[in-house]
Structure 1
Amino acid sequence: MQFKKIENADVAEKLTSLLHQAYAADVRLGIHFAASSVTVENVRKHIESTPTFILEDDDGTIVATTSVRLPWSDNPSPFGLPHLGWVATNPDYQQQGFSKQIISWVVTNYVKPELYTPAVTIGTAADHPWLLSFYKSLGFKVIDITQKPNAPRAAYLISIFDEHRTRLIDDAYLQKTLSKQGLSTY
């Protein structure tokens, strides 16, 4: 198995298929993340504009994936921080810890050393039966739950690496939600 950053959109079809397969379980629960029906063209655009990572087995099968939405991109996070998205595991490899591995690898090998960020966020459906507790088990803490039109309630979580630097981020929504949760204050 090998972790790697996708350098071009050659794997867009394989990644689209993985996303559709992985998010099908959520659709069956009545939770419709955009990744569950994303098009190959939109995956290509995503790869070109958003750092996207995969865990690939020896025969080239994509086992797991996640991407890092950047605050300055066309699809920024809700906060002034990098935001993990499109966390997905190939259904043939689920329940083996691969989502945990790719999240940990991306944070340790890209988010912290390359972006020098003091924290990272992730989001999920607030009412998802297992994802919220899964992200909490990785050390993420809920900072906000919101309701957007025509969407499931969203839960936003944060993993803070440097509280002092996180308090210095000039993002009113971030500071308000951190303060409200007692995680950080000015």
Structure 2
Amino acid sequence: MITNRFIKKNEVKELQLLLHEAYKSDTQLGINFQAARVTLQQIDEHIENTATFVTEINHTIVATVSVRLPWSKNPGPYAIPHLGWVATHSQFSKQGYATQLIDWVEKEYIQKQLKAPMVSLGTAVEHPWLKRFYTSVGYQPVEMVQKTPDHLTVYMVKVLNRKFDQLESEQLKKYLNKNKTKVRY
């Protein structure tokens, strides 16, 4: 049975194992995402302050995604929800679990509960397929920044509200830059 849900507090260790396993191949590419080396304490703090979702199959967590909010301790770059820690355990990769969980989180949480018009995420430009994957599920690149020495980050946005559907990438970038998250903790 496949279930999408919020993570439980007692699943910190299982989430750490999933993240470390899922991000191992990125580290081998020289891309050092923070999730690849996250500690149990950091995960505990993360799920305390960030909506974190999982896909569970027969009592095993196989995929995860978190939603960072503009008013949280760890906001995304814009004043809209921001996806992070998108991961699928390598034993379950290429079966669509991350895609399905992202879609479910966008519809059930970001649209229905938060009523947000769009959502963002960031990924490494140097990664061989992540930008292409996110583009295939509706995200468009709007900005690139050098946040870490090992990779260039591309911020991508997906429009969830038809009011914003016709915005071209440059217009969207202007809108988002006017609405950047200014408060950092």
Q: TM range, normalised to the smaller chain?
A: 0.7 to 0.9
Can you give the 5+ residue segments of structure 2 that lack an aligned partner in the other structure? 176-185
Q: Once the 2 structures are TM-superposed, how far is the Cα of residue 95 of structure 1 from its aligned partner? A: 0.8
Which residues in structure 2 correspond to 1:45-64 (within 5 Å)? 45-58=45-58, 60-64=59-63
Say whether residues 1:12 and 2:4 are aligned partners.
Answer: no
Residues 65 and 161 (structure 1), Cα distance of their counterparts in 2 relative to 1, 3 Å cut: same
Deviates more, 1:157-166 or 1:111-120: 157-166
Higher relative contact order (CA 8 A, sep 6+): 2
Q: What is the distance in 1 between the residues matched to 2:117 and 2:25?
A: 33
State the partner residue of 1:128.
Answer: 127
Q: Number of matched residues?
A: 173
**Percent identity over paired residues:** 42
- CA shift, 1:183, in A, is 3.5
C-alpha separation in 2, matches of 1:97 and 1:149: 29
State the TM-score, normalizing by the size of structure 2. Answer: 0.88
Shift of 1:61: 1.0
**How far apart, CA to CA, are the structure 2 residues paired with 1:101 and 1:161?**
16
Task: Describe how 1:140-155 pairs up with structure 2 within 5 A.
Answer: 140-155=139-154
Question: Partners in 2 of 1:97 and 1:151 — Cα distance?
Answer: 28
**Cα displacement string for residues 39-93 of structure 1 (whole angstroms, at most 9, x for unaligned residues):** 01100110110000000011x1111000000000000000000001000001100
More strand by share: 2
Q: CA RMSD for the aligned pairs?
A: 1.9
User: What SS is found at the alignment partner of 1:128?
Assistant: coil
Structure 1 unaligned runs (5+)? 167-177
Letter aligned with residue 13 of structure 1 = K
